[in-house]
Amino acid sequence: MNDGLEISLAALRANADALRALVAPTHAAFVVKGNAYGHGAPEVARAIESHARYLCVYTIDEALALRAAGIVAPLLILGPVPAASLRAALEHDCELPLWDERGYLHDLAAAARACGKTARVHVKINTGLNRFGIAAEECDALLDAVESVRNVEIVGVFSHLAAAEEIDSPYTQYQLARFTLARERVRARFPAAQQHIAASAAAMLWPQSRLDIARFGIALYGLWPSEQTQAAMRDSGLSLRPALSYRSQLVVTREIEAGEAIGYGCTFHAPRAMRIGVLPLGYADGIPRLLSNGGSFLVDGARCAILGRIAMNTTVLDLTHASAAGVGAAVTLIGCDGNEEISADDWARWAQTISYEIVTRLPSSLPRTFTEL
């Protein structure tokens, strides 16, 4: 067994099918930014591109990497694209966000003319997340500007919700109302513009937000946007399967006496004679240091607590419940072994964060094996 991640392509496709069915006849777009949330962007994109109205990325570099890997599905870049990269984006048939009717629009039009393309853009509306986008009241000025230049076509209008994981969310209602104002202005002049605001949680909890396209990120990978979302969908029939497992093996086992310390800072002292095992992975390998003295992994199917501080390259486990485990014993950091499971949500709870961060921060240097299981 080698250290690393195992990604189930079958799980990804099953999740994609389930999510498409949930929102039909709305189209499904799938978000593969952040190295496909740590799962491996080219392979994930290849597995589900036939299911997607769009594959969504954040940067031009992510888009170009997918094209270089042979991905032909429509690509929508969600983040800002530097002026110097606009021509490359257009030459590789990427659709772009637009929220600036001044210099950026003219740079985009010039790049489109230079390569003989029409830039296909999605107008980004700021409905209250207050990062990117224009206010609904600014739509007309932007639309006027687009109509005054050549080689730019509005094909979409979109926004993003701040609190869609909440079932009772006045702020989501406020944002949806703001978006309705903007999209109606866009559609009055560009009737074919596709409308999209829902990501995973909104597509599940706020059906009125699905519109023409729903953008699925975290749910594609078999993870729920929040505990509240999962609870609310319990009776919906929607089943998601985590696509990622993380496995390794013990490289050392040893006996220690009562009172002996483990790890940097001596934060753990053995309360009794103990048998411990050393895992050759640490925070350099994506294990949050906050799991120190709090998390647990599975050794030969038994839950074994993390002892002491997680180091850059090592983690120490209590083998009390895996007394037969020796060097080479299987360790499951994320995934199932027998009747036990450690999930990305477990890591997130121990590390006081969210599963999005856990999987996305798994280093690209970790080996990834892609299976059909």
Catalytic residue among 33, 124, 283, 356: 33
pLDDT at 35: 98
Catalytic residue among 171, 246, 264, 356: 264
**Domain at 344, CATH number:** 2.40.37.10
CB 8 within 8 A of CB 239: no
**pLDDT tens digits, residue range 337-363?**
999 999 999 999 999 999 999 999 999
In the residue annotation, 54 being an active-site residue is answered as no
Q: Tell me phi and psi for residue 313, to 5 degrees.
A: -125, 5
Residues 171 and 264 in one domain: no
Residues 253 and 225 in one domain: no
Residues 213 and 252 in one domain: no
Residues 258 and 212 in one domain: no
pLDDT at 101: 82
Is residue 4 domain-resident? no
Is residue 322 domain-resident? yes
Residues 189 and 312 in one domain: no
pLDDT at 339: 95
pLDDT at 167: 87
pLDDT at 370: 98
Residues 91 and 67 in one domain: yes
Q: Domain end: 195, 211, 232, which one?
A: 232
Listing DSSP states for 322-365 in one string gives: -TT--TT-EEEEEEEETTEEE-HHHHHHHHTS-HHHHHHTS-TT
Give the pairing type, strands 94-98 and 119-124.
parallel
> What does pLDDT average to over the chain?
97
Nearest to 276 by CA among 325, 331, 311, 317: 317
Residues 273 and 353 in one domain: yes
- Tell me: pLDDT of 255 over 80: yes
Is residue 56 domain-resident? yes
Per-residue pLDDT, averaged over 45-70, amounts to: 98
Residues 135 and 267 in one domain: no
Q: Domain end: 182, 197, 232, which one?
A: 232
Is residue 3 domain-resident? no
In the residue annotation, 58 being an active-site residue is answered as no
- Tell me: pLDDT of 102 over 90: no
Is residue 239 domain-resident? no
Is residue 310 domain-resident? yes
Listing DSSP states for 2-53 in one string gives: -SEEEEEHHHHHHHHHHHHHHHTTSEEEEE-HHHHHTT-HHHHHHHHGGG-S
pLDDT at 2: 64
- Tell me: pLDDT of 1 over 60: no
What percent of the chain has pLDDT above 70? 99
Looking at this protein, which amino acid is placed at residue 201? A
Residues 54 and 143 in one domain: yes
Residues 174 and 285 in one domain: no
**pLDDT tens digits, residue range 269-300?**
999 999 999 999 999 999 999 999 999 999 99
Residues 221 and 250 in one domain: no
State the residue range of the domain holding 189. Answer: 9-232
Residues 204 and 336 in one domain: no
- Tell me: pLDDT of 85 over 60: yes
**pLDDT tens digits, residue range 127-172?**
999 999 999 999 999 999 999 999 999 999 999 999 999 888 999 9
Provide the domain count of the chain: 2
Residue for token digits 């888009």?
63
Is residue 238 domain-resident? no
